[in-house]
Chains A and B, each alone.
Chain A
Amino acid sequence: MPVNPEVEGRTYPKIPTYVVSRVKVAEFAAAVGAKDPVHTDVEHARSLGYSDVVAPPTFAVIVAQQAEAAAITDPEAGIDFSRLVHGEEGFTHHRPLVAGDEITAATTVDRVRSAGGHSMVTLKTAITTTEGDPVCDVNCVVVIRGEA
């Protein structure tokens, strides 16, 4: 069943405040094999001018995927999660995420289109501080495979 194109343009509510922690940054860095001490050593991070340890470039996906869940589970969109694969991902960082940041995120369905029996859904997620300052824009394309 194709994804309902009428959800195009829909913006979902912001997620609850997410607080970036040193422990989670270190855990994520270890999981992707990012060995740079800026992720784990506060003094080193401060020597480079950051207020605290810096999250790896793809860390924002944790927050983005929490926000995207509202779109993916919207019953009106009709997305079959079991047929969903990740097509593309992109981050535009206005500044790096650092431990102590209090952020939130909201996802908008940018585009729904059909191609070769599949549905491609482009989700744009704006990650901001709780004060509303831009932190990271996330672009995600998911492909919902059609029935063979």
Chain B
Amino acid sequence: MPQISELAVGDSIGSTEIAVDRATFVRYAGASGDFNPIHWDEKFATSVGLPSVIGHGMWTMGAAVSLVGEWVGDPGRVVEYGVRFSAPVVVEYDSATPLAVTGTIKKIDGDRVTVELTATQGGTKVLSRALATVDLSER
């Protein structure tokens, strides 16, 4: 677990790239219970004006915060996490662009450290105001 005394606002917590394909969203649909066909049925997705199948925003939110859990070494330490969905993750049939995630320390308040996450797909920001706060107190 990171030591608070060694952290500073502006520090990077690292970055990761997460591959996506149609199966990713079929799997997330099953795991989450959100079977909206815009996430797995291209014919339906394009019929309602979408460019292709799009990922669940909640998948993107869940995938992005894994970087924070790995940095802390205990995802159970995430006490606050909020995002705005600014653009969909578009999932082409056989050439989907991966999700790129980076994180930077935004605030340190006692034992609580807030990380701002940046999640982009092919240069498009898919989350905004993505802030995750972890509790690094002794237990």
Contacts and interface: CB of A to CB of B under 8 A. Distances in A.
Interface of A: 24, 27-28, 30-36, 38-39, 48-50, 54, 56-58, 61-62, 65-66, 82, 85-93, 96, 139
A56 B64 CA distance: 11
B32 A61 contact: yes
B81 A62 contact: no
A57 B78 contact: yes
Given A58-B81, A89-B57, A48 B74 contact: yes
Given A58-B81, A62-B33, A89-B82, A32 B75 contact: no
Interface residues of B, number: 35
A36 B76 CA distance: 10
- The A interface is mostly helix, strand or loop, or mixed, namely mixed
B30 A31 contact: yes
A90 B78 CA distance: 12
B75 A65 contact: no
Contacts of B73: 36
Contact of B80 (A56, A85, A93): A93
B75 A31 contact: no
Contacts of A28: 31-32, 62
Contact of A93 (B32, B61, B79): B79
Contacts of A66: 33
B57 A86 contact: yes
B70 interface: yes
B32 A33 contact: no
A120 to B, nearest CB: 12
B17 to A, nearest CB: 11
Contacts of A56: 62, 65-66, 69, 75
B70 A36 contact: yes
A87 B33 contact: no
A34 B81 contact: no
Given A87-B84, A91-B80, A57 B65 contact: yes
Given A30-B27, A33-B63, A57-B65, A90 B70 contact: no
B57 A57 contact: no
Contact of B76 (A50, A58, A62, A89): A50
B28 A36 contact: no
20 contacts: A28-B32, A31-B24, A31-B32, A31-B59, A32-B63, A34-B62, A34-B63, A35-B66, A36-B70, A54-B76, A56-B65, A56-B66, A57-B69, A58-B81, A86-B57, A86-B85, A87-B85, A92-B79, A92-B80, A96-B76
